[in-house]
């Protein structure tokens, strides 16, 4: 029997995004994490899914606002089919967790009767499939959260024709995990030993924690977060997807990644080797597939050297980008290098002998990497701007 379902994870609802200074833009990014749930619901309907699995970290922490809790429960209730989730490391089910709070319980019962939180490591039957949940009760578990599935007793009472789906949150050896600096043993928390699982008895492994989409073993997938929440690290960090899965007992699953993200998190590095490069970059990023839009968050690393006029154009452009984009995280390492014509225009001003003397002195001081040179270059920019206005 084939079962169709949706695999998603790492919603991180209520993430503060403290790096976004503008209140309205920060609220927009936070709201988009709620809005993506409607797109997941639309995908589930197109896929004719029997249920939705959330492989941990539905919430960013136990300290999310009541508004976030209510909006999340309302959005889940609108999905129109069963939603089963396990606690992850951010929203673990230990003492004092969000899941134990009376307000959450009341809102979930009222707004999301289709939601089921799986806090116990025991088989759950849903939509013709058997779900094997591996919930986290601590932020950092020292033992393998999937270990209970290795027990032979788990399989004795399961229906022979029902697909078996592991639902887990954690890291695997050599991928996704980092050692805890406070752990003298150097062990990796929430480490899942997938090779020790009875692969023949499992038909799909729905994993969470890694925020990119990736198949990490036969039948084992990280869905990634459905709406990216950070700048990508490397080309293989394919965040912003939701997986539509078809699983049947004893067969390889069919997995399709669908783009559910709306916001674009970009990392760009540009060496401005000459003034003309800036003009070409502005043209390329103003239209076409590389255009920067109000849905973009950009980490921009700039290097190279520019003349006085090009530097002024860059300043104005960066000011516009900062206003337009949801976030501009800038690492600017450009060096001011006035062109020969700019040097001559500043240093040879018969009608302004004082400006000529000041410019000549600043041009002499501006070379090199000292603090005095940096101040001289800044003064040259200001002097050039003042002269351009007169």
Whichever domain contains 102, its CATH number is: 3.60.21.10
Q: pLDDT value at position 48? A: 98
Say if residue 318 is in the same domain as residue 247: no
Q: Among 213, 243, 259, where does a domain finish?
A: 259
Say if residue 238 is in the same domain as residue 295: no
pLDDT, tens digit (0-9, with 9 covering 90-100), for 212-229: 999 999 999 999 999 999
CA dist., res. 46 & res. 40, Å (int): 10
Q: Among 210, 242, 259, where does a domain finish?
A: 259
pLDDT, tens digit (0-9, with 9 covering 90-100), for 44-82: 999 999 999 999 999 999 999 999 999 999 999 999 999
pLDDT bin (cut points 50, 70, 90) of residue 178 is very low
The whole domain housing 306 covers 264-389
pLDDT, tens digit (0-9, with 9 covering 90-100), for 110-120: 999 999 999 99
* Cα separation values, 149 from 229, 269, 315, Å: 31, 45, 58
Residue 281 reports pLDDT greater than 90: yes
Say if residue 299 is in the same domain as residue 203: no
CB 166 within 8 A of CB 188: no
- Find all residues with CB under 8 Å of 103, minimum gap 6, and list them: 66, 69
Say if residue 240 is in the same domain as residue 312: no
pLDDT bin (cut points 50, 70, 90) of residue 180 is very low
Q: pLDDT value at position 389? A: 60
CA dist., res. 242 & res. 260, Å (int): 6
Nearest to 171 by CA among 192, 200, 195: 192
Nearest to 221 by CA among 53, 90, 76, 86: 53
Q: pLDDT value at position 176? A: 55
pLDDT, tens digit (0-9, with 9 covering 90-100), for 340-373: 776 676 667 666 777 777 777 777 777 777 888 7
Q: pLDDT value at position 185? A: 41
Say if residue 220 is in the same domain as residue 324: no
Say if residue 74 is in the same domain as residue 217: yes
Q: pLDDT value at position 174? A: 61
Say if residue 151 is in the same domain as residue 238: yes
Say if residue 277 is in the same domain as residue 249: no
Say if residue 38 is in the same domain as residue 144: yes
DSSP annotation string for 252-310: PPEEEEEE---SEEEEEEEEE-SHHHHHHHHHHTTSSTT---TTEEEEEEEEEEE-HHH
Q: Average pLDDT in the 11-28 region?
A: 97
Three-state DSSP class for 120? coil
Total domains present in the chain? 2
Q: Is the pTM of this model over 0.75?
A: yes
Say if residue 117 is in the same domain as residue 180: yes
Q: Among 242, 259, 276, where does a domain finish?
A: 259
Say if residue 61 is in the same domain as residue 205: yes
Residue of higher predicted confidence among 313 and 375: 313
Q: pLDDT value at position 355? A: 73
Say if residue 24 is in the same domain as residue 149: yes
CB 291 within 8 A of CB 256: no
pLDDT bin (cut points 50, 70, 90) of residue 242 is very high
């Amino acid at each position: 029997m084939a079962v169709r379902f949706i695999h998603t994870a790492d919603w991180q609802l209520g993430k503060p995004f403290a790096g976004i200074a503008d209140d309205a833009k920060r609220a927009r990014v936070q709201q988009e994490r709620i809005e993506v749930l409607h797109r997941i619901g639309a995908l589930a309907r197109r896929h004719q899914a029997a249920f939705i699995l959330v492989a941990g970290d539905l919430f960013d922490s136990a300290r999310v606002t009541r508004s976030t809790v209510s909006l999340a429960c309302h959005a889940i209730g609108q999905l129109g089919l069963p939603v089963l989730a396990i606690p992850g490391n951010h929203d673990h089910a230990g003492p004092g967790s969000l899941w134990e709070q009376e307000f959450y319980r009341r809102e979930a019962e009222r707004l999301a009767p289709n939601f089921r939180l799986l806090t116990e490591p025991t088989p759950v039957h849903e939509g013709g499939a058997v779900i094997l949940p591996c919930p986290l009760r601590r932020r950092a578990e020292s033992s393998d959260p999937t270990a209970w599935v290795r027990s032979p007793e788990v399989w004795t009472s399961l229906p022979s024709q029902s697909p078996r789906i592991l639902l887990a949150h954690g890291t695997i050896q050599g991928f996704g995990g980092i050692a805890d600096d406070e752990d003298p043993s150097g062990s990796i928390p929430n480490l899942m030993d997938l090779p020790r699982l009875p692969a023949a008895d499992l038909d799909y492994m729905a994993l969470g924690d890694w925020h990119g989409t990736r198949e990490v073993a036969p039948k084992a997938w990280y869905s990634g977060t459905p709406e990216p929440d950070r700048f990508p690290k490397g080309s293989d960090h394919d965040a912003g997807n939701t997986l539509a899965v078809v699983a049947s007992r004893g067969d390889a699953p069919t997995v399709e990644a669908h783009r559910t993200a709306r916001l674009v998190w970009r990392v760009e590095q540009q060496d401005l080797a000459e003034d003309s490069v800036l003009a070409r970059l502005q043209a390329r990023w103003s239209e076409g597939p590389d255009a920067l839009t109000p849905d973009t968050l950009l980490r921009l690393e700039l290097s190279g050297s520019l003349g006085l006029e090009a530097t002024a154009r860059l300043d104005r452009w960066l000011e516009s980008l900062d206003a337009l984009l949801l976030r501009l995280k800038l690492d600017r390492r450009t060096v001011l290098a006035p062109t020969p014509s700019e040097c001559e225009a500043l240093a040879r001003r018969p009608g302004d002998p004082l400006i000529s003397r000041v410019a000549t002195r600043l041009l002499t001081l501006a070379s090199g990497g000292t603090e005095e040179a940096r101040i001289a270059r800044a003064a040259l920019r200001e002097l050039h701007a003042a002269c351009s206005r007169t």
